[in-house]
Amino acid sequence: MDKETEKQKKQTKQGGNNASAIVEKIQQLGQTNVPQAPDSNIHVLSIIGQVEGHVQLPPQNKTTKYEHVLPQLIAIEQNPKIEGLIILLNTVGGDVEAGLALAEMIASMSKPTVSIVLGGGHSIGVPIATAADYSFIVPTATMTIHPIRLTGLVIGVPQTFEYLDKMQDRVIKFVVDHSNIKEDHFKELMFAKGNLTRDIGTNVVGEDAVEQGLINEVGGVKNAMEKVNELIGDNKEPEQEVIQ
Amino acid sequence: MIIYTPLSEVDIFPTENEAHSKRHCVTFQGKQMYVEEQENGSYQLLQLLSTDPNDFMDQNYVPGTSIPNK
């Protein structure tokens, strides 16, 4: 009897293991086998969800943590095998300082960078998109340009406004320096009334972003790959001339 | 439920620390990734932090993969 119960116990235990293994398998997302390609000379950096800065957001938020991205950018810059970088953007914005840090890092890289705005590249996503050497936007993607705002404890003194204004100027300056838009025009878009239902600002979609001078071209993955390869080619040429 | 307040949602309903403490950023097989601790002590891969597109083709790093507790 004892032996039998032990056996049963074992069986149920095994059954439990099997069940959990199946559950684990189900939990794994299915993906087809893809043949292994040789090392890619173009790396991809996706900036998705909120740009997370000094404050850790609750776990239900999808975030891109800048402290993770900064070392990756340095690694890309240092690795001689990596010749170009594509930045995929689908962000709702986030921390101004973290976003500007990312944008400055991307802008100061020596390797060709191309950005694609997919879905949305709002608020602080705008400077990140313009930071790349060349920027694309898919026809359906949108970018919201609006004044920056503070969260948390705000002291109601004039200095708070000055601080906010200065921070905003940093964003404006970066975008103006790295895209074809004029400062006055960008400010016009930023402070426009009546475009956004609950906010001051402008929402530009696909083609519109190109017309305003924020983004270089409307296009997707194909265009971005072509452009980054073209830029890589340009980057290589001077070296070849020296050899000749 | 409708709340009428200038505060953000998390200021009113703070998330439990538990949810935060279960998520870790670890390096596994030389790759940085976000994992969540499971009840059985293993870790489940949430997000791979890599810029190499080939890493995302690797079956071992598919989101949801169980990583044994080291």
- Domain membership of residue B11 (yes or no) is no
Can A146 be counted among the known catalytic residues?
Answer: yes
Question: Are B65 and A28 an interchain contact pair (Cβ–Cβ within 8 Å)?
Answer: yes
Domains present along chain A, CATH in parentheses: 62-240 (3.90.226.10)
Whole-number Å distance between alpha carbons of A52 and A62? 9
- Domain membership of residue B27 (yes or no) is yes
Question: Are B23 and A59 an interchain contact pair (Cβ–Cβ within 8 Å)?
Answer: yes
Q: Count of CB atoms within 10 A of residue A188's CB?
A: 14
Q: Which of A129, A72, A83, A87 is nearest to A110 (CA)?
A: A83
ipTM: 0.71
Q: Tens of pLDDT along A193-243? A: 988 887 899 999 999 999 999 999 999 999 999 999 999 998 887 655 565
Non-local (6+) Cβ contacts of A82 within 8 A are A41, A42, A43, A76, A111
Chain B 21-60, residues with CB within 8 Å of chain A CB atoms: 23, 25, 32, 40, 44, 49-54, 57, 59
Can A135 be counted among the known catalytic residues?
Answer: no
Question: Are A31 and B62 an interchain contact pair (Cβ–Cβ within 8 Å)?
Answer: yes
Domains of chain B: total? 1
Q: Tens of pLDDT along A45-76? A: 999 999 998 888 877 788 999 988 999 999 99
pLDDT of B57 reads: 84
Show the CA angle centred on residue A89, arms to residues A85 and A95, nearest 5°: 110
Q: How many CB pairs under 8 A join A and B?
A: 53
Whole-number Å distance between alpha carbons of A156 and A161? 8
- Domain membership of residue B56 (yes or no) is yes
Question: Are B51 and A40 an interchain contact pair (Cβ–Cβ within 8 Å)?
Answer: no
- Domain membership of residue B38 (yes or no) is yes
What tokens appear for A18 in the block?
């099997």
Looking at every residue in chain A, the average pLDDT score rounds to 86
For residue B25, list chain A residues with Cβ-Cβ distance below 8 A.
Answer: 68
